[in-house]
Structure 1
């Protein structure tokens, strides 16, 4: 298998560079969906697209068990060298490439699987809403095992290593509005200063206390109030909050405290203060069975010394909504050490592209072992 993967390296790199240079943001991955559709169909894979959103699934084989591999397909919108553009700074271009590489390997070494292998090319991971849409479409209802992958920065694991699961934390993105009347700068007693309310909100966020054994954070990440006239006290404002927690129960407790802060400030200042959850990303729910299968493949490919323990990270991924919404799923996500620097979401992120070849081999072996094991269970 390793020699075959090496022989298709030029094709793998060509696919990666195409996807990298044709990045598209969440829910607008039209060209990406079309490119993947054409490539999968050319490989003889059954393809299903969706009338109302981007993304697709591809299948090979028939019957049960159904084992799936998910790759996210969207990019971020950010400033790169002075220009705002869609940019694959989170590695989704590599994830798509690895999924396709796994397909090429399976066609060569496992063309008639004892079950169904499903490739899920999921949109809008960066919005935290793509996995939920795919769940809604039923794409994992009949799946037994679900695998994913993610490049990891050098600060977490070194190049040439891998982890059998990524224990992401939960994330929640909240938008807020303060609504009141403006006042004259000379008569502050006739109104409420939305900027002052926002400052107090930040202060209260910094005073939240939850079990110190649980990792969490809450911070204001955007605030807009006032205009060009410096003699007007703004009564209204909009703001954004970013909430993080290492497990889902802590996230719910954190949300209750944030809601309490909003209610308190609204009552104290006599303003209309509303909070709305724009998107959430669930904390990881990892199957130990899936993790062990991934671990065995990592050891097979890299050796035991290069297989690191499950990685706890404060980052989030909507991959974990699949198991939250469909508890029967046995899922885990491969973490790939690849000398990724300076970090995920940095506009000029780079990584060792050859690490994709390692990821392809690990994932292909895991899928084959899983289908064969389930098929004989």
Structure 2
């Protein structure tokens, strides 16, 4: 049975990897998963105004707690071997495949169907930090008591054959900004303020932000564009982006205030306007009950010596919006060791596909442990 499911999971992974789609454009991915859910006993829901698909499996008419298992479905847009394309370099193809593996495992244990109420959430646009909020808007977790997620981990964090019961992501925020000034002739630098020099001043001031050193945080400029093809024009306008990270939401608030204070000072000094648009992902809100369920599932599947400590990482995931928007939701994200190299979001990221069945079995065991049933 395990070998059959493992083969299906790997085949599904390879298909999804070869048919990657970027955020909000996961149309064929949604259709593909919808078909599998329908073929395996799920009541299926899709949406008119966005991608993503929900499958309900089991008995929702009794007093069972409802468990949701979430997989993100979007790919990144990045350059691979000299060509820009949709690319699953963050492991979402693996996440989808493992969650479908849980469904297939349930189907091979038909005696469980009346004992469980499982909601499979295949969520779009995680890479945009917006998909979870859209699913919340669609009320998909309103009736959910427990929420489990999964994410592949780089080899530096979690070794192959091991797993962590919780990923403690930090808060992340992206600021996209526009400097609004006026151009000037290269021979008349006194008639404007050079947007490139203003950008350099912002970078310099960002380096002087000092917050609580006991809590990890960072802010850096990751994109800057000013000027055009004419080298004798001093640009007055520019666009730039900042990547901001903090290990908790409170420090992110402080960091954001400091950044906006810098913008205000620059505006006053150079008599220009800086327009800012931002979006971000909240830091993890952890739940001990859910973590202990996942920890026991790892022990039961891999052994007690294969359970890692909680993984604290500056990376972000919009998974945590579910618990922030629904405070009584008991949630955790499994971190799966899989010898992932050289790192997440690397265009040539690889991992050991044999680890996929570990993820399936751990998540399935977490379901059984939540309901207190053997399998």
TM-score (ref. length: structure 1): 0.96
Matches within 5 A, 1:186-335: 186-277=187-278, 279-335=279-335
Shift of 1:276: 1.4
Q: Distance in 1 between matches of 2:360 and 2:52?
A: 21
Q: CA RMSD in A?
A: 1.0
Shift of 1:113: 3.8
Does structure 1 retain, via aligned residues, the 8 Å contact 2:10–2:356?
no
SS in 2 for 1:296: helix
Deviation by residue 1:142-197 (Cα, 9 ceiling, x = unmatched): 11000000000001111110000001111101100110111111111111111111
Corresponding residue for residue 84 of structure 2? 84
- Which of the numbers 6, 9, 18 marks the counterpart of 2:6? 9
Q: Distance in 2 between matches of 1:5 and 1:36?
A: 21
Corresponding residue for residue 70 of structure 2? 70
> Which deviates further from its counterpart, 294-303 or 108-117?
108-117
Does structure 2 retain, via aligned residues, the 8 Å contact 1:19–1:93?
yes
Does structure 2 retain, via aligned residues, the 8 Å contact 1:87–1:347?
yes
Q: Distance in 2 between matches of 1:187 and 1:270?
A: 18
Q: Distance in 2 between matches of 1:169 and 1:310?
A: 13
Shift of 1:115: 4.2
Q: Would you say 1:136 and 2:133 are equivalent positions?
A: no
Q: Would you say 1:34 and 2:31 are equivalent positions?
A: yes
Shift of 1:242: 0.5
Deviation by residue 1:53-102 (Cα, 9 ceiling, x = unmatched): 00010011213411100000000011111111100000000000000000
Q: Distance in 2 between matches of 1:252 and 1:205?
A: 15
Does structure 2 retain, via aligned residues, the 8 Å contact 1:262–1:275?
no
Q: Would you say 1:369 and 2:369 are equivalent positions?
A: yes
Q: What stretches of structure 2 of length at least 5 have no aligned partner?
A: none
Deviation by residue 1:336-359 (Cα, 9 ceiling, x = unmatched): 000000100000100000111001
Does structure 2 retain, via aligned residues, the 8 Å contact 1:66–1:371?
no
Q: Distance in 1 between matches of 2:196 and 2:314?
A: 30
Corresponding residue for residue 171 of structure 1? 172
Q: Distance in 2 between matches of 1:136 and 1:74?
A: 19
Deviation by residue 1:21-41 (Cα, 9 ceiling, x = unmatched): 000000000000000001111
Matches within 5 A, 1:335-346: 335-346=335-346
Matches within 5 A, 1:104-123: 104-109=104-109, 111-123=112-124
Does structure 2 retain, via aligned residues, the 8 Å contact 1:262–1:274?
no
Shift of 1:301: 0.8
SS in 2 for 1:345: coil
Shift of 1:5: 2.0
Does structure 1 retain, via aligned residues, the 8 Å contact 2:76–2:89?
yes
Does structure 1 retain, via aligned residues, the 8 Å contact 2:5–2:105?
no
Corresponding residue for residue 53 of structure 1? 50
SS in 2 for 1:228: coil
Does structure 2 retain, via aligned residues, the 8 Å contact 1:281–1:321?
yes
Does structure 2 retain, via aligned residues, the 8 Å contact 1:67–1:371?
no
Deviation by residue 1:271-301 (Cα, 9 ceiling, x = unmatched): 0112211x21111111110000000010111
Q: Distance in 1 between matches of 2:132 and 2:199?
A: 33
Q: Distance in 2 between matches of 1:302 and 1:188?
A: 67
Q: Distance in 2 between matches of 1:123 and 1:112?
A: 27
Does structure 2 retain, via aligned residues, the 8 Å contact 1:5–1:361?
no
Deviation by residue 1:248-276 (Cα, 9 ceiling, x = unmatched): 00111100011101111001100011221
Q: Distance in 2 between matches of 1:16 and 1:226?
A: 44
Does structure 2 retain, via aligned residues, the 8 Å contact 1:114–1:372?
no
Does structure 1 retain, via aligned residues, the 8 Å contact 2:26–2:124?
yes
Does structure 2 retain, via aligned residues, the 8 Å contact 1:113–1:371?
no
SS in 1 for 2:115: coil
Q: Distance in 2 between matches of 1:141 and 1:251?
A: 28
Q: Distance in 2 between matches of 1:80 and 1:227?
A: 27
Does structure 2 retain, via aligned residues, the 8 Å contact 1:175–1:275?
yes
TM-score (ref. length: structure 2): 0.97
Does structure 1 retain, via aligned residues, the 8 Å contact 2:172–2:281?
yes
| Equivalent pairs, count | 369
